[in-house]
A = this chain, B = another copy of it.
Amino acid sequence: MSAVTDGPAAPRAAGPGAEGRPARTRGTVLVVGTGLLGASAGLALRARGVDVALDDPSPTARALARDVGAGRPAGPAEDPSVVLVAAPPDVTADVVAARLRAHPRAVVTDVASVKGAVLDGVAAALARDGADPSAVRRYVGGHPMAGRERSGATSARADLFTGRPWVLVPPEGAPGGAAAPPGGVAGDPGGAAAGALERVLDVVADCRGVPVVMGAAAHDEAVALVSHVPQVAASLVAARLLEAPSGAVALAGQGLRDVTRIAASDPGLWVQILGANAAPVARALHALRSDLDAVLGALDALAADGAALGARARVARAIDEGGAGVARVPGKHGADPVPVEVVAVLVPDEPGSLARLFADVADLGVSVEDVKLEHAPGRLLGLAELSVLPAGRPRLEAELPPRGWRVAG
């Protein structure tokens, strides 16, 4: 019986008691849009005992979210403390504006991956509908940096946001999303905007996200660099493979796989995201193109004359700058990457051998930070690359071989 995935209201996360900390969120959180992100937030909040109401234009999606345990179906007259809009990016602004009007005492936030366009869209929608423009001060833009390859409530996880940055754009009473001053929000008589931010911070904390407060423009520039430009680059590199002979593609290694992995993402979603963040992405891509032109000029020169003066230096500069840039990327453990060393162990490709390996490793008191498995086609051996803290490496290298393991390097 597969109760966890299929059963109604399956216990995907421990109950409130098991979490060991009471919820910070007061009142009801109304989740509008019960796909992967909305349902995951519902699961996380339910795990802390928060009352979660679920709404979605699709009755099926809403029922699915209820069935996985993300909350209860919303009633006709909800009075939520916070509305979490988890709709597709291109309808988010309209849904946020509608919810600001429908729930005059609620703070409304969203999860769309661009923030300036949504903020402008909310203000425009309120104006269009003749609503009180100050309602926008109850809107806190949000963007959790979390996701999965799969979508929908059935892929939701209570820990989807755990330890992940969750950007919040504080309201300022006016559209535009300028940078938030540190420690507070300017021009906020009565503290309404600050109070709105506080409520959403509580929701983020209860989802175990790591709040990052920044202005809409700063956010959009940042995601252009760390998310949207990499996406475009991955797609462009992968597109080059379309007309390659299959013998060429057969030479692919891990480098190509890593660079192009995200090129398999949903085109519909990405058109929405890139369209909504067009200006920052275009700025970054223009800069990238000018670097590309420098490399291309050097390679053209080298193709014509293998000793072309200065050409190799220009290529080296591009590679050097890339190395310096990648050094700024935080590791999987956050901004302060834990140094790890890799121990490669040959593993027979059969059930039980990994279990024996991990049992031996645990026996030696060594904690594994990461594992990568490589299967060798046509051979009954795989390679397990164990990332361990530096102190663990000599221990494994000394103690695994006597236990019958071949340590490969």
Contact = CB atoms under 8 A, between A and B. Distances in A.
Nearest to A269: B319
A370 interface: yes
Interface string A217-253: 0100111011101111111111111101111111111
A278 to B, nearest CB: 4
A298 to B, nearest CB: 8
Contact of A239 (B208, B318, B334, B373): B318
A366 interface: yes
Given A299-B278, A322-B236, A354-B368, A244 B225 contact: yes
A286 B262 CA distance: 22
B401 A3 contact: yes
A325 B239 contact: yes
Give how many copies assemble into the complex: 2
A317 B346 CA distance: 43
Given A263-B326, A286-B296, A346-B159, A226 B245 contact: no
A275 B296 contact: no
A247 B366 contact: no
Contacts of A158: 408
Interface residues of A, number: 160
A265 B319 contact: yes
Nearest to A365: B351
A243 B310 CA distance: 25
Contacts of A288: 236-237, 239-240, 292
A302 interface: yes
Contacts of A398: 1-4
A165 interface: yes
A289 interface: yes
Nearest to A166: B251
A322 B234 contact: yes
B329 A257 contact: yes
A142 to B, nearest CB: 13
A231 B319 CA distance: 9
Interface in A259-317: 259-265, 267-268, 270-271, 274-275, 278-279, 281-282, 284-289, 291-293, 295-296, 299-300, 302-303, 306, 311-312, 315-316
A223 B329 CA distance: 27
B238 A226 contact: no
Contact of A322 (B260, B319, B352): B260
Interface in A327-385: 327-330, 332-335, 344, 346, 349-355, 357-363, 365-379, 381, 383
13 contacts: A13-B406, A162-B376, A165-B251, A229-B240, A234-B326, A239-B322, A240-B284, A242-B321, A252-B330, A259-B259, A263-B322, A282-B299, A288-B292
